[in-house]
A and B are shown apart, each in its own frame.
Chain A
């Protein structure tokens, strides 16, 4: 397989010609700027510290109740320059949005504005305590209140719970509100309906809240099967959890009809708002009959993903569910405009709230970033965000569908993500190989093998962050890798070649888990 393919990519020849893989062996194992970095525990020392603190006075009196530590903890330290170098070297083995295109579907890897970071670090936000007297933190309460009001405006919903700490925590908030609402009217229900294409967090959340989960099938065009859903509704169904736009990248155009049917059967409608960025400023979910929807501030409102969080998942609620919102929440005094927290003690105002989900008020550091982003974009900019995200995704869909199976390409325009499948690949090649091939081309792969309803799913979400030039370049690279998969290029099975690591043995890692450094 040394012949160049249509994209001009010649993996083995290039490797040999460039000397990159077959070149001289270095004594350090480094390759120019690609630097090997040992584990902290291999380079740190127990007697080294990077912080100047007073020496421990072993003779000083203590009041530790006889529990002073006698055994070593087993930690190691580095001086400041060593620490900075260690983590800087590690950082260079990571792909991030700052480095390039990151079309991880459903995750919305958009640019993280640095103004957001600067604002979140203002001491007036970063250096205040969650239990400070409320007269000392009026500005912080105002931030939460203002952000909450704008989330209500953008979604057309009357109320919001700000404390959930991420999307899945927001789902839990919404589902608990639904359960509390049913309990309040003495109506025990057992089942939550979830489409097959849902995020795994949806069934996990419903199960965690004590519900039995039943799947709703999809139509061949990639949307909820409305007839099947309606047929399943009944007095045992507490509600539905539907992602809209859905994980196949399509708008659920019958959402209102679904919501009306669910309501008529005494249930509630949970909308997974992970994909709200496609419709922000264009459609208000409240107009579609939603009772609860979480909003991932780390997706739609640009707070950084941080290598796996922290996120933030405020939940907007309908009139029916609002009274059950978790504590604490913020209210404004009509008399003097000041803000205050409603907590366990405010017995009248807390009403039938289902209680507290987290120790404090939620992800303040994410609130300041999201509010900064909203102010930057404004009403006009947020609408443009949704439009550009959808435009970019459709452009990719239509630029790829001639060579790559797009299972719902005929279902109309996609929203903010384009979904493909691997059914036409040959020679045993699959989605995984295309993903790894894209790594060699300098891209973070799309989301793979999700949603589960498509064989070898590839979910591409470009977001509004990318320029046309960047997307065109990606399309060229993506087409090149797909062509190799269609042709059955064996070399693709070994990709990636040029990343800090080659394919990793995940089976071995799980068979004999090594989850901490030993030694």
Chain B
């Protein structure tokens, strides 16, 4: 077996040293009734690299690859071009096969990278401090709510109706068990989000108000009034961002007064990967909140010779020190995805990120204008970055999407899938456009959408 270096001769010599006659002597503490006497039934026997590759390729071939068709899906996961050098770097064994940098003297590569990552994320979000990553945007969203309840010592969170419904589900799942009260809502199908309605729901018991930016329908609006309304009631503003590329074009949440900014970092470096692993981003605007943050933090220090170096720090917040009093139970985070994000962001830089954002927006505007010309279709949004909502004139979006897939076009995400059973949202379709979208793709979507709408009752 190609991954197992011990030979039978080695095994015998080692057993002799141990003073055991057979390997099963080492499993003597396992109750006999629970011991298996041979290879477990139900799994195949070991296989060659070639045979395994054949099996996995056959499974992969059953999926419709995004890059091979006109592709317009978003809703929290975006398809961007990832430069080849990103994958080369993350496959270096020194990064790939290391672990959490518990021994900083021999983990400066990971630690310095994390320090750079934290700085990039903090600046992108307009914040003072970012952590070294969480699992994904949705769990980061819950961690932000939990942190807000610790900071304010209140137990109520107000969710914007235009927060990604899966994020809202994650928050509600967790809050059910922690006893926090979650006030959520459905998105209003309007050209502008209902911020007045949202602000009216903030009261003196509110720990935080959670707003997505750009929101689930792709809309963007100035959140400064929401920050002011929240602060007036002693609540925190949590802003959720699922598309970091957008922040190359629009104001950062920190600039608008957000106290905690969280999001999904998958757009940069990570890829679609059917939903994971992704990259949870978490930052705070005010450094005074650092000690309430969840997750690992990398900090600068010096070594015994006075050289600059980096360590994991403030770990008295964390489970391995504080146990049941920790700020979160998280241990393993998304280190390698953070590296991919950082390498991609380094390649882009300020200039490249702004260009990338401008190109996304340019193509999205083109697509919105073209799709608005399809009979029966309207663009809902006044403002958007690279994703917008189409109203399909009373046609069921889920059926249209399935029909488009049969026509070889992955045309977007139906709100019917995201909000099952909500009649008012059944006829809306989310369309995302990135730099990977071509003008031909847009034309193809417009044509197939027109045909599909005509044929769908």
Which single member of B90, B173, B417 contacts A355 (CB below 8 Å)? B173
Q: Is B85 an interface residue (CB 8 A)?
A: yes
Residues from 419 to 438 in A contacting B, C-beta threshold 8 Å: 435-436
Q: Kindly report which residue of chain A lies nearest to residue B279, judged by CB atoms.
A: A310
Which single member of A97, A130, A383 contacts B39 (CB below 8 Å)? A383
Q: Is the CB of B63 within 8 A of A136?
A: yes
Q: Is the CB of B132 within 8 A of A356?
A: no
Q: Is the CB of A56 within 8 A of B337?
A: no
Known: A84-B89, A169-B135, A282-B27. A304 touches B60 (CB 8 A): no
Stretch of A7-15, A260-268, A315-323, A371-379 lying at the B interface: A371-379
Q: Is the CB of A131 within 8 A of B77?
A: yes
A129 to B36, CA, bound (A): 40
Q: Kindly report which residue of chain A lies nearest to residue B62, judged by CB atoms.
A: A139
The residues of B that contact A49 with a CB separation of less than 8 Å are 347-349, 351-352, 355
Q: Is the CB of B307 within 8 A of A124?
A: no
Q: Is B437 an interface residue (CB 8 A)?
A: no
A308 CB, nearest partner CB in chain B, Å: 3
Q: Is B34 an interface residue (CB 8 A)?
A: yes
A255 to B103, CA, bound (A): 34
Q: Kindly report which residue of chain A lies nearest to residue B71, judged by CB atoms.
A: A129
A210 to B178, CA, bound (A): 5
Interface string of A129-162 (1 = CB under 8 A from B): 1111101111110110000001001100000000
Known: A204-B329, A308-B333. A95 touches B106 (CB 8 A): yes
Q: Is B231 an interface residue (CB 8 A)?
A: no
Which single member of A62, A256, A307, A465 contacts B110 (CB below 8 Å)? A307
Residues from 361 to 419 in B contacting A, C-beta threshold 8 Å: 361-362, 365, 368, 381-385, 401-402, 405-406, 410, 413, 417-418
Stretch of B196-204, B338-346, B439-447, B448-456 lying at the A interface: B338-346
A121 to B339, CA, bound (A): 17
Q: Is the CB of B99 within 8 A of A359?
A: no
Q: Is the CB of B249 within 8 A of A68?
A: yes
A62 to B30, CA, bound (A): 68
A171 to B326, CA, bound (A): 15
Q: Is the CB of A95 within 8 A of B36?
A: no
Interface string of B285-311 (1 = CB under 8 A from A): 000001000001111111111010111
Q: Is the CB of A166 within 8 A of B119?
A: no
A450 CB, nearest partner CB in chain B, Å: 7
Known: A92-B94, A142-B59, A354-B173. A378 touches B43 (CB 8 A): yes
Residues from 57 to 108 in A contacting B, C-beta threshold 8 Å: 57, 60-78, 80, 83-84, 86-88, 90-99, 102, 104, 107
A73 to B271, CA, bound (A): 23
Known: A64-B220, A305-B97, A513-B313. A47 touches B351 (CB 8 A): yes
Q: Is A363 an interface residue (CB 8 A)?
A: yes
Known: A74-B350, A104-B99. A399 touches B328 (CB 8 A): no
On chain B, the number of residues with a Cβ less than 8 Å from chain A's Cβ atoms is: 215
Q: Kindly report which residue of chain B lies nearest to residue A308, judged by CB atoms.
A: B335
The residues of A that contact B183 with a CB separation of less than 8 Å are none
B355 CB, nearest partner CB in chain A, Å: 4
The residues of B that contact A235 with a CB separation of less than 8 Å are none
Q: Is the CB of B63 within 8 A of A138?
A: yes
Q: Is the CB of A165 within 8 A of B347?
A: no
Q: Is the interface of A mostly helix, strand, loop or mixed?
A: loop
A500 to B305, CA, bound (A): 11
A70 CB, nearest partner CB in chain B, Å: 8
Stretch of A38-46, A224-232, A478-486 lying at the B interface: A38-46
Q: Is A402 an interface residue (CB 8 A)?
A: no
Q: Kindly report which residue of chain A lies nearest to residue B430, judged by CB atoms.
A: A131
B24 CB, nearest partner CB in chain A, Å: 9
Q: Is the CB of B347 within 8 A of A77?
A: yes
Q: How many A-B pairs with Cβ below 8 Å?
A: 738
Q: Is the CB of B336 within 8 A of A307?
A: yes
Point out which of B107, B324, B384 has the most chain A C-beta atoms below 10 A from its C-beta. Answer: B324
Q: Is A240 an interface residue (CB 8 A)?
A: no
Q: Is A403 an interface residue (CB 8 A)?
A: no
Q: Is the CB of A375 within 8 A of B52?
A: yes
Q: Is A390 an interface residue (CB 8 A)?
A: yes
Q: Kindly report which residue of chain A lies nearest to residue B381, judged by CB atoms.
A: A63
Q: Is the CB of B110 within 8 A of A308?
A: yes
Q: Kindly report which residue of chain A lies nearest to residue B6, judged by CB atoms.
A: A388
Q: Is the CB of B383 within 8 A of A64?
A: yes
The residues of A that contact B3 with a CB separation of less than 8 Å are 111, 113, 302, 376-377, 381, 464-465
Which single member of B46, B104, B222, B342 contacts A381 (CB below 8 Å)? B46
Q: Is A220 an interface residue (CB 8 A)?
A: no
Q: Is the CB of A88 within 8 A of B97?
A: no
Q: Is B152 an interface residue (CB 8 A)?
A: no
Q: Is the CB of A310 within 8 A of B334?
A: yes
Q: Is the CB of B4 within 8 A of A385?
A: yes
The residues of B that contact A55 with a CB separation of less than 8 Å are 355
Q: Kindly report which residue of chain A lies nearest to residue B361, judged by CB atoms.
A: A62
Interface residues on A, range: 35 or more
Q: Is the CB of B56 within 8 A of A119?
A: yes
Q: Is A16 an interface residue (CB 8 A)?
A: no
Q: Is the CB of B13 within 8 A of A281?
A: no
Which single member of A68, A75, A251, A361 contacts B124 (CB below 8 Å)? A75
B358 CB, nearest partner CB in chain A, Å: 4
Interface string of B88-109 (1 = CB under 8 A from A): 1111111111111111111111
Q: Is the CB of A310 within 8 A of B276?
A: yes
Q: Kindly report which residue of chain A lies nearest to residue B326, judged by CB atoms.
A: A204
Q: Is the CB of B42 within 8 A of A153?
A: yes
A208 to B247, CA, bound (A): 32
The residues of A that contact B313 with a CB separation of less than 8 Å are 506, 509-510, 513, 515
Q: Is the CB of A308 within 8 A of B56?
A: no
Q: Is the CB of B319 within 8 A of A168?
A: yes
The residues of B that contact A2 with a CB separation of less than 8 Å are none
A366 to B96, CA, bound (A): 13
Q: Kindly report which residue of chain A lies nearest to residue B172, judged by CB atoms.
A: A355
Known: A75-B350, A360-B274. A127 touches B65 (CB 8 A): yes
The residues of A that contact B220 with a CB separation of less than 8 Å are 64-65, 67
Which single member of A284, A496, A516 contacts B34 (CB below 8 Å)? A284
The residues of B that contact A357 with a CB separation of less than 8 Å are 139, 170, 173
Q: Is the CB of A137 within 8 A of B63?
A: yes
B120 CB, nearest partner CB in chain A, Å: 6
A245 CB, nearest partner CB in chain B, Å: 9
A470 to B14, CA, bound (A): 13
Known: A253-B29, A282-B35, A501-B105. A364 touches B275 (CB 8 A): yes
Q: Is A445 an interface residue (CB 8 A)?
A: yes
Q: Is B79 an interface residue (CB 8 A)?
A: yes
Q: Is A200 an interface residue (CB 8 A)?
A: yes
Q: Is B133 an interface residue (CB 8 A)?
A: yes
A504 CB, nearest partner CB in chain B, Å: 5
Q: Is A398 an interface residue (CB 8 A)?
A: yes
Q: Is the CB of B352 within 8 A of A77?
A: yes
Residues from 1 to 54 in B contacting A, C-beta threshold 8 Å: 1-7, 10-11, 13-15, 17-20, 23, 25-31, 33-36, 38-47, 49, 51-53
Residues from 289 to 342 in A contacting B, C-beta threshold 8 Å: 296, 298, 302, 304-312, 326-327
Known: A98-B96, A377-B3, A509-B299. A44 touches B18 (CB 8 A): no
Which single member of A74, A123, A514 contacts B60 (CB below 8 Å)? A123
A356 to B17, CA, bound (A): 51
Known: A124-B61, A354-B173. A50 touches B348 (CB 8 A): yes
Q: Is the CB of B63 within 8 A of A125?
A: yes
Kindly list the 10 A-B residue pairs having the minimum CB-CB distance in the complex, ordered from nearest: A77-B349, A360-B275, A124-B60, A65-B383, A98-B93, A306-B336, A345-B420, A139-B62, A130-B275, A308-B335
Could you list 10 further interchain pairs (A-B, Cβ under 8 angstroms) beyond the known A62-B365, A115-B53, A307-B336?
A47-B351, A61-B365, A122-B60, A142-B59, A207-B326, A378-B44, A383-B40, A504-B310, A513-B314, A515-B298
List 17 A-B pairs, Cβ < 8 Å: A40-B116, A75-B348, A94-B109, A115-B53, A200-B323, A204-B326, A307-B339, A356-B166, A357-B170, A358-B139, A360-B276, A379-B42, A388-B6, A395-B14, A398-B18, A413-B26, A516-B122
